[in-house]
Amino acid sequence: MYSFITGPLLWFAFGVFFLGLLGRVVWYIKGLDWRIDRVAYPYHFGAGVKGALRSILHWLLPFGSRNWRVRPLFTILIFGFHIGVVITPVFLTGHVELIEQRLGISWPTLPGLVADGLTIVVLVGAICLVLRRIALPEVRVLTTWYDYFLLLLTVLPFLTGFFLVQGIGDAGFWFVVHVLCGEVLLVAIPFTKLYHVVGFFLTRMQLGMDYGIKRGGRRGRGIAW
C-alpha cells in the first residue's frame, strides 16, 4: 500500500494536476477573442504588461488594493489561510523527504512548530470562512453545498496530516488517509473552482492589461474603446 500510494498513484495525481492546469491555461488564453473582449494586448504589449504586473502585485499584497483595505479582518483571514495552504505542503519536512527519496532533489524545510502553526491557521481559517458564508446574507445567497465540499476537500489533507504528526490515533491509518486526501485534492484542482490557483493570475493579468491599455492607459491615443 505504501509503495503504491507514494509511487504510481502519487505521480498520477501530480501528472493530472500539472497537465490539467496547463490545459486550463491554454484554453483560457485561446478563448480570448478580440471580437468579444476587444483584446488589444498584441498591439500595445508594453502597456499591457505594466498593467498586468500592477494588478497582480496589488492583489498579492495585503491591503495592496482597495478591496483588501475596506475589509481588513477578511483580508487577514484570507491571506493567512492561503499562505498556510501554499507554504505548508511545499516546505513540510515529510513532503520534502518523500520527494528526495523519489527524485533525489530537496530544498529547505519549515521547522516543526512553524508547520504546525500554519496548519492551525489553515484549519481555523477554514472554520471562519464557513461561519462567514453562513452569517453574511450577501455571501450565503451565493453559497452552495459545492463550496463547502471544496473547502472540506482543501482542509482534509491538513487535518489528517495534523493528526498524523501529533500522534492522534493510529499513525498508519492517518498516513494512508492523509496521502489519499492530498492526491484527491491534486486531481480535483484543475477541474473545480480550486483552479483559481492559476486562474487568479490569468484573470488579474487580463483585467490589468485591459485597464492598462484601454482604461486610463492607451485610451484616447489611438484606441477608441
221 within a domain of the structure (yes/no): no
What integer pLDDT is reported at residue 40 of this predicted model?
Answer: 63
163 within a domain of the structure (yes/no): yes
Backbone phi and psi for residue 107, each to the nearest 5 degrees, phi listed first = -150, 170
What integer pLDDT is reported at residue 68 of this predicted model?
Answer: 77
Q: How many domains does the chain have?
A: 1
What integer pLDDT is reported at residue 28 of this predicted model?
Answer: 87
224 within a domain of the structure (yes/no): no
Question: At which residue does the C-alpha cell 519536512 appear?
Answer: 93
The span from the CA of 110 to the CA of 141, in Å, is 39
What integer pLDDT is reported at residue 34 of this predicted model?
Answer: 58
218 within a domain of the structure (yes/no): no
Environment class of residue 212 by beta-carbon count within 10 Å: exposed (0-12), middle (13-18) or buried (19+)? buried
206 within a domain of the structure (yes/no): yes
What integer pLDDT is reported at residue 131 of this predicted model?
Answer: 94
Q: What is the mean pLDDT of each run of 10 residues along the chain (225 residues)?
A: 84 95 90 62 74 85 78 89 94 89 87 94 95 91 93 96 90 93 96 92 84 63 53
Write out the residue range of the structural domain in which residue 117 sits. 2-213
220 within a domain of the structure (yes/no): no
219 within a domain of the structure (yes/no): no
DSSP alpha helix (H) spans, the chain: 2-5, 8-30, 34-37, 45-60, 66-70, 72-91, 93-103, 112-135, 137-140, 145-166, 171-188, 196-213
CATH of residue 41's domain is: 1.20.950
Which 8-state DSSP code applies to residue 222? T
131 within a domain of the structure (yes/no): yes
